[in-house]
Amino acid sequence: MGARKKRAPRRGSLGFSPRKRASRLVPRVKSWPEVDIGKPVPLAFLGYRAGMTHVFMVDDRPGRPTSGKEIFVPVTIVETPPMFVAAVRLYGYDPNRGRYSLGEAWAQPPPELELQRRISTLGSFDTDKMLKSLEERLDKAVDVRLIAASQPKLAGGLSKKKPDLLEIKVGGVSDVTKLFDYAKDVLGNLIAVNDVFEEGQLVDVIAVTKGKGFQGVIKRWGVKELPRWHKHRKGSRRIGARSHGRSTFWETPQAGQTGFHRRTEYNKRILMIDDDGYKVTPAGGFLRYGVVRSTFVMLSGSIPGTPKRPIVMRWAIRPPEWYLKLGVRKPEITYISLASKQGV
């Protein structure tokens, strides 16, 4: 009989500790990529997760055994109604305190947006006066952001009316003046997902994962359960010494909140952007969502969150080497499954 194993890789990453509930349902984007494409462009967009299906497409990734062949790909559908640009905000930079706001200019939102449901103190604004004030501080600005409001009433699977707000960085060029001119042009107007992304592009998905409540160490950390012999009659899920009390190591797996965490998944490829939601809506609609009625984005693979959850898509901050060499290429989709998902 061999010697008993005394070491094992740790279960569960400590990089996500503390595993507590997300503070907000619409995640704030904390990092932005440096983009240089020669024209200003918003670097993120907000949509709502509808559900999953699958497609067949031609694999155009180089160096793969399936390159040039038809492959099966699971996909996630995110409904992305146009967003209303409600405000422009400028940021300055100070070495001692980092970025700080130089001011913002708000546009009067249309009544059908019902933005007062989200901002109860919303009043009338003198947009021209505030824009002029921002132009006077433009020499101190290092960053231009848009505050955009979603339109959930246009999404087919949502019943809520309250819009979600997202602060979006404007990138594409390094000249702050050009960025500010672009922000002034789109202030008070609608931006579509086509204005931000294109088919074949890689994006990062930021969302809040599915909540699972209070769970034990087996499900929360993936530790191994002890064999249920007579010597373990006091508990097969016990962790061991210093697992309780004041002397507990912080690295010790403990029971607690599982799921409903803010997470980022990198390099999800956009396979399709279209205005006809019936191209991807399965028979009977998506489970717990319904029919996609406005513009949608088809992403390869799975993403965090439940149906109807707000999803933030951002320009890829660390794309792979093959993508940097070949650039954006429109994928060739040969088949989209519309089979019913109600019995799954």
User: How far, rounded to the nearest angstrom, does the alpha carbon of residue 273 sit from its chain's CA centroid?
Assistant: 17
Same domain flag for 308 and 200:
yes
- Digit-by-digit pLDDT tens for the chain (344 residues) are 556 666 777 788 899 899 999 999 999 999 999 999 999 999 999 999 999 999 999 999 888 899 999 999 999 999 999 999 999 999 999 999 999 999 999 999 999 999 999 998 877 778 999 999 999 999 999 999 999 999 999 999 999 999 999 999 999 999 999 999 999 999 999 999 999 999 999 999 999 999 999 998 889 998 887 776 666 666 777 666 555 667 778 888 888 999 999 999 999 999 999 999 999 999 999 999 999 999 999 999 999 999 999 999 999 999 999 899 888 999 999 999 999 988 76
The reply to whether 329 and 258 lie within a common domain is yes
């088949």: which residue's tokens? 335
DSSP string, 290-332: B---S-EEEEES--SS-TT-EEEEEE-SS--HHHHHH------
Which residue is listed with tokens 């021209």?
128
Q: How far apart are CA 43 and CA 23, in angstroms?
A: 23
Whether 247 is in a domain gets the answer no
Q: Does some domain include residue 87?
A: yes
Which residue range is the domain that position 336 belongs to?
A: 20-80+193-224+235-240+253-344
Q: What is the pLDDT of residue 154?
A: 95
pLDDT at 344: 60
Residue 286 included in any domain: yes
- Indicate if 201 and 165 belong to the same structural domain: no
Residues 30 and 166 in one domain: no
Structure confidence at residue 131 (pLDDT):
94
Pair 270, 325 in one domain: yes
**212 and 337 fall within a common domain:** yes
Q: Count up the domains in the chain and report the number.
A: 2
Provide the CATH number for the domain around residue 306: 2.40.30.10
Do residues 263 and 210 share a domain?
yes
- pLDDT for 103 equals 93
Rounded-to-integer distance, Cα 256 and Cα 220, Å: 8
What CATH number is given to the structural domain containing 187?
3.30.1430.10
Whether the model pTM is above 0.85: yes
Residues 201 and 332 in one domain: yes
* pLDDT score for 240: 60
Q: 113 and 32 in one domain?
A: no
Looking at the DSSP bridge assignments, the partners of residue 74 are 54
Model pLDDT, residue 159: 92
pLDDT at 227: 74
The separation between CA 31 and the C-alpha centre of its own chain, rounded to angstroms, equals 12
Q: Are residues 103 and 143 in the same domain?
A: yes
CB burial class (10 A; 0-12, 13-18, 19+) of residue 133? middle
Residue 177 lies in a domain: yes
Tell whether 6 is covered by a domain: no
Contacts of 323 (CB under 8 A, 6+ apart): 202, 267, 316
Q: Which residue, among 297, 306, 302, has the nearest Cα to 279 in the 3D structure?
A: 297
Region for residue 334 given its phi and psi (left: phi exceeds 0; alpha: psi -120 to 50; beta: otherwise) = alpha
